[in-house]
Chains A and B, each alone.
Chain A
Amino acid sequence: MGGTTGIQGGPDGKTGSRFEGPCWTFGDNIPTDQLIKSRYVFDPMDVIVQHVLEDMDPEFPRQVEPGDVVVAGRHFGQSSGRAIAAKALQATRIGCVLAESFARTFYRNCFEIGLPAMEVEGITELARKGDRLAVDITTGTVTNTATGESRVGRPADPFLVEMLAAGGLIALAEQRPELFA
């Protein structure tokens, strides 16, 4: 499919493959344990979301706003395969998450729960905390709107784009059960 319509995760119910908002920046090799500590994983999401990435940036869970963009370095989301780490990030209602690279289960989890994610080489040089980024995850383009500087990332495989458009893996399986039958 690979179209530009219907992708969920945009701010305030706006859908699409384009996102624009201020960014939060994080470093390399951030494990899922630091996205959300294991002692919170059985809590309700309204509790979990108050602790997302709190050890890495205490302002983040308090001040993140719908449509913001999360930027990370290499191997973001390493460690546990539990989807709760991606769900915790999604619950902040960010627009999308960009990283130099992702741990593969975390990347998979993002699409399976309907959180847009993209690998963008050089993104940590392009984006300083608070900079406004314009992102088009279909073309892979990321622009820092203050400096005008751009990078081109690696857009997701069409199957993953279709999954995002459906609203995640479970929704895709409901809509197209013949894929898995």
Chain B
Amino acid sequence: MNLVEKILARASGRTSVEPGEIVIAGVDRLLMHDLSGYLTSEVYEKRVGRPIPDPERVVMVFDHHFSPPTERQADILQHNRAWARGHGITLMDCGSGNLHHAAVRGGHVRPGMIVVGSDSHTPVHGSLGALAVALGNDSHAGTVLPYGKAWFRVPETVRIELHGAPRPGTTPRDIALWLCAEIGEGALNYKALEFTGPYVKQASFWDRWLFPLLTVDLGAKCGFVEPDEVTEAFLRTLPGGAGPQGDPLLRGDGAQDAASVLRYDISEVPPQVACPPTVGNTKAVADAAGARVGWAELGGHGGGRLEDIRAAAEVLDGRRVHPDTRLNIVPSSREVFAEALREGLVASLHEAGATWFPPSTGSNQAINMGALSAGEAMICTHSRNFPGRNGSTEAGVYLASAATVAASAAAGEIAGAPAGSERRAA
């Protein structure tokens, strides 16, 4: 069995499971944000209403409304607060950061766990070796909250091996965008994706993060990286440390436990930009260069990491944000902002003309900020660029690495990072 099968077997009280079977398994974490949490609470209170036996397993993070812009949205947050407190659910209020980053930073996700949430990027927690799956609100209201369980169809696993050393200036974010186009949006429907190979295994935890993040774009159920010494070292930095002694990290049985293997050589991939209208519509940055961008943003599930902020500071060292462009920086968590302060990155990027936003999900869906007018364009580290995602359906959203976002902010148009400025770029 591979990691996903072992987790599902353990959590459903079985010795083994086979792809295609349906099992009912215990859930370790339910992650909700202020939107999905509200919708789930409505279904739960109206149609279920039983006690929640393990509320400490439920984590709610307010990240879309970091400061409610309307009375109605303030009402939604008040509803969520009352609901979470009434049931004893763990609540991380406005300013904690982006749902997924805040949950990891808070020590709420561990290898071998089953993690669910309605946010479609919930599979990103496979970066830690958890089985992380996006389920709908009715799953959460109907079985996860009252019973601590969910049903799962055991997926076939596709192993994605990445080989080779990247070109100078090509970051893991570029490789992830390229891979999405190479494999094809929706091409791995219902599969579990194991990201591995020398390129992934040598990557830091937060660089690995960018691969399970694209699971939803490929149509897959979940994506994961097998836990190893990189994972263990990262766990030691979190509240709770490396977890209980004597609970070895689950790993798969090896070569024969995936249904198929896809191998890619990443050594010739140049920096990428995903152009409108979808994540898989990628081009080399050089081929998209010159397109006007009025907005640039480091934030979202894919960005606002410390690695992104360092990369932007390096690219903007001695340069300024273009007068016709606004660069917004959204730390993914309070911990990232604190570290950016300690490293002097907050001052240097402020002086370069960037604007700091509170830790949150940033302009994602333009709920709190960052709506685009028709004809405007934004380049960002977000994970979505569908038409109408942030305001007008006639606005354009481009997705790129932090280095490319910062270089484009300085140029006022899509531009690659200057040679040598991206040494530490993530």
Contacts and interface: CB of A to CB of B under 8 A. Distances in A.
Interface stretch (A2-10, A71-79, A132-140): A71-79
Contact of A84 (B39, B141, B388): B39
A170 B138 contact: yes
Contact of A173 (B135, B142, B221): B142
A83 B36 CA distance: 9
A141 interface: no
A95 to B, nearest CB: 20
Contacts of A31: 386
B388 A113 contact: no
Nearest to A180: B147
Contacts of A170: 43, 47-48, 138, 141-142
Given A31-B386, A38-B365, A104 B219 contact: yes
Interface in B192-229: 216-217, 219-221
B186 A75 contact: yes
Interface in A64-82: 74-75, 78-82
Given A75-B189, A157-B22, A108 B388 contact: no
Contacts of B221: 104
A83 B39 contact: yes
Contacts of B386: 31, 33-34, 79
B149 interface: yes
A1 interface: no
A49 interface: no
B152 to A, nearest CB: 10
A82 B137 contact: yes
B388 A112 contact: no
- What's the dominant secondary structure at chain B's contact region? mixed
Nearest to B148: A180
Nearest to A86: B136
Interface string A151-181: 0000001010000000011101100010111
A42 B77 CA distance: 12
Contacts of B137: 82-84
B112 to A, nearest CB: 22
A113 B24 CA distance: 18
A29 B185 contact: yes
A128 interface: no
Given A55-B388, A82-B118, A170-B142, A108 B135 contact: yes
B24 A180 contact: yes
A83 to B, nearest CB: 4
B36 A33 contact: no
Given A75-B186, A80-B120, A104-B221, A109 B136 contact: yes
8 contacts: A42-B76, A81-B119, A84-B137, A86-B136, A112-B136, A113-B136, A113-B138, A170-B138
Interface of A: 29, 31, 33-34, 37-38, 41-42, 55, 74-75, 78-84, 86, 101-105, 108-109, 112-113, 157, 159, 168-170, 172-173, 177, 179-181
Interface of B: 22, 24, 35-36, 38-39, 43, 47-48, 72, 76, 117-120, 122, 134-139, 141-143, 146-147, 149, 151, 153, 185-186, 189-190, 216-217, 219-221, 278, 365, 367, 384, 386-389, 393
Q: Considering the complex of A and B, which 7 residue pairs feature the smallest CB-CB distances, nearest first? A: A75-B186, A83-B136, A81-B134, A109-B136, A180-B147, A170-B142, A112-B138
